[in-house]
Every structure is written in structure tokens, then in C-alpha cells.
Structure 1
Amino acid sequence: VITSFIQLKKRGANFIGFCPFHDEKTPSFSVSPTKGIYKCFGCGKGGNSVSFIMEHEHYSYPEALKFLAEKYNIEVLERELTPEQNIRANDRDSLYVITSFANKFFQDSLWNTEEGKTIGLSYFMERKFSDETIIKFQLGYNPNIKDVFSKYSLKSSYKAKYMIEAGLSIFNNNTAIDRFKGRMIFPIHSFSGRILGFGGRSLKTDKKAKYINSPESLIYIKSKILYGIYFAKQDISKQNNCYVVEGYTDVISLHQAGIKNVVSS
């Protein structure tokens, strides 16, 4: 499990490497495959594979178990949900599916359309963002056509209900309009890296709002998430402090400059 996250070298019956939970120059992190445990002799942290996932990924105990079960194709028998809980769980899953689909669409539009390259990529490059940074933060672009994403989503068999609830489309008299039309896209990630919503930045001066965000939904509650937390969580844990800045581009610029324990609210 642990080798999926850090590099380890065999030493006798155990494996050693640099501790992912604090900065160090000499490797003091030891893993014992026979005992199924890890121990850092520098910071003192230790435990089993589940506690490692909880600490490294900042998961709850059930989330860590689910992560390991999915990774190793282990069937997990969960308690039976009420009909209402089933509906809510299905709605949440459907929202994650549509936001993931939208994220791929926006990235593809940024890199593979003339408009995306001319407007979106040019903007990000003016901000001095490298290709590596743009890809890492999954930045994107929604073309300046009122319904290009909405039409593509409906054609791809996604339900209008979830397009609306995720805040990706606005329907008026059965006509779909893209919420983020003509905007640079900043995906908002959960602690575990799932797409919760988006921020959209317009370059046009006639727009009512330079930035707009996804509305709150079952999966996106603005007061409970910090932009950039998915990319900052390990450095925040290592350094035991965090910088809170104003906006998306501030987070990305500082991260690219090597200051990675940074988020925005």
C-alpha cells in the first residue's frame, strides 16, 4: 500500500524511505511487510495501512477502508440504506460523475480548440503558469458559445437534472445555457481530489462578474472547502502551518513557486 505513495528501498527484512509526514534529510521511515506496520523514527508516527491512508490522505476511517477496498478489488458489505438515503447517495454519485465529465470537457477545450488555446492558454501563460502547473491543477476553458457544453452533455446522455444541480447549466424555457460560457475554468477539489464545483474567470469587461462560482449543491458547500486543499494537504501536515490567500491564481502561483502549504477560502 505505502509504496503507491512514497519510494522505499529494501533494507534487511524491512523497507526504508523518507517520511511523508515531515521534512528530513536522512530517511527514517521504516515499513515492515511481515508485521504490516510502518514507523517513522524521526517524528514518531506509525501504524498500519489503514492509519497510513488516513494520515496521508486525510481520510476518515470509513473513507480509508473504502479507498483500500476499491484499490484492491475487495468487496465491502455496507449496511442497507433507507429509500431516502439511497436516493441521496445516488444523487451525490451522479453529481460527481457530471462534474468529472465537465472537468474533462473544459480541459479538452483548453488544449484542443483554437479558442481555448488563443484565449484560455494565453491567459494562463500570461500568469506565468507552466504547462505542468496547468495540467496539475486541471485548469480548463468553456468556449464562448452559449450552449456548447450543455448540448454536448445532453448528447452524451447526461441528465438535465444533474447539469442544473451541479450548476453547470441553466435551463430557461427548455433551453440549456452554459453557466461558464467564455470563461477560464478553475476546478474545485475535495480533500480526496474529487471535483466538487468550478470557478470561472471572464476576461470581458462587460461581464457582470469577473469571477463566478458553482452554486452550492449536495457535494459542494463553499464554507466547508478551501481551494487548493487537495494539493496543499501534505505540506500543511508536514510544516504544521498554512497560508490563506485571496484567490485561485494566488494559490497556483505560490504553489508553482514552491510554497505549497497554501489555500484560498
Structure 2
Amino acid sequence: MTRTTRRTHRAGRTGRTLRVAGAGAAALLALSACSSSDDDSSTGSDSPASGSSSGKLSGTVTVFAAASLKESFTTLGKEFEKEHPGTKVTFSFGGSDSLAAGITGGAPADVFASASPRTMEIVTDAGDASGTPATFVRNQLQIATLPGNPDKIASLKDLTRSSLKVVLCDKEVPCGAAAQKALGAGKLKLTPVSYEQDVKAALTKVELKEADAAVVYKTDVHAAGDKVEGVEFPESADAINDYPIVQLKNAQNTGAAKAFIALAQSADGQKVLTGAGFLKP
């Protein structure tokens, strides 16, 4: 074989080697792209916020809400689960200040609905809210008396009678703070037989006939049905509470959290809330 022939032969082998290497690299790139696509699809389907690659909601959404929202939010929770099959709404109801303390202490929750801006500030000031809270309803106070109003209570001033056993919410919770504001507007002093941890506890005292009257929300009188009787008083107009709602920073199910808040603010949600006695924002 001549020197020229050997150079030609080596060049041919080099060309074939480069072609084979190029084909192999192309195959590896194609395989890598396929693998990356599969991984992205899998991540999307497992995300608790999206539920699936199509954006369908799934999983549990945990809502911390003021005690006065119990009946209406329970109804909204059922509607939410019906609208989004595969989801579950769990609630923790109680005094807004206790719930706020739980959130800032690390309690896992996706949404917080408070009975006052002041208690919402506990959460926002701690940096535990995602976004700006929005007022979605308001609530007004009412006097709850025994059925038939046997003590003939007709005004907030009547509650100052020494013969009556009156219950108020604790001053630290929104219903208690509102009651103090209403009493201040009427320039009245009232010493209750007890201060209760939330509005439901105060109302229960009347339902069980352990108290003659309690200052609670109109929504709670409505929810109690014929177990109590409601008495309106003008000073309540000076103590109307705004109810803010917000998604929490450490929410585990952000998609469902946003959707639940949207439901509470929607026309359908507002219909349920106003039907329970809440005022529009």
C-alpha cells in the first residue's frame, strides 16, 4: 500500500468514527430530552397545589376561621368539595386571637379568616401571611336572651341591671372588643358573670340557661334558631367588625387555598354568608 493510499484509508476510518460519535451524541440528547419531559410531567402531577398536570385541584386545604364563621364556612366547605372532587376542607374554629397565636407559633394552615383586622395584624406583623388580607364580610352585635325574652331586655342599658346574669366574650377576642366599644359608645358600665373565650362559648351560656343574656354577633343568634331570642341595639352600629381573609405564607396547598378564598368572595359565597346574617364588605 502506497503512502497516499494509507492516508486515504486513515481519513476514511476517521470520517466513519466521527459520524458514529455524532449519531451517538444525538441519541443521548434525544433520550435526555425525553427523560426531562417525563420528570417535569411527574412533578406537575404530584404537586399539592395543582393536583394534576391539567391544574385540577386535589388534597386537603386547612382553614383557620373565627368561631362565628362555623355554620357558613361549613356550608362553603361542602360546596367546595363538591365543585372540586378529590379535595377536602378541614376547619379549625375558635377565638381569632387564639388562632392567630397558633399560626405564628407554627400551626399548619393554608387560610386564615379573622373576625377583626386587629387579630389579622398578629399574623401579618409576624410575616406569616402571603399577600394582603381582604375584607370579605362584616358582622354586627346583638343581644341574645332566653327564648321569649322573659326579662324584657330591650336595650344595651338593660343589661346593666344587677338582677341579670350577663355574659360577654373575653376582651381580647373580636366579639369582646366590639362589645366594649359598644358599651363605650353608650357610656355604660357592665360587669358580666363571666368572660368567655369565643362567641360560641358566650352563646352556649344562654342556651344552657346559665346566663340571662349575652352580647354576641347577629350571625350567632341566627344560627341558634329558637334556642335564643335576639335583641338589636343602636350602639352596635358603632362596633361593626370587618372580617379579613388571607392565604398563609407556609400554605401546603396554595392552589386550593386561593380557590377557597375566591369562593368566599364570590357571589355564591356571599349569598351563603349574607343568608347567615353577615353584612357585605
Q: TM-score band (shorter)?
A: under 0.3
The structure with the largest alpha-carbon Rg is 2
Higher relative contact order (CA 8 A, sep 6+): 2
TM score, norm. by length of structure 1:
0.26
TM score, norm. by length of structure 2:
0.25
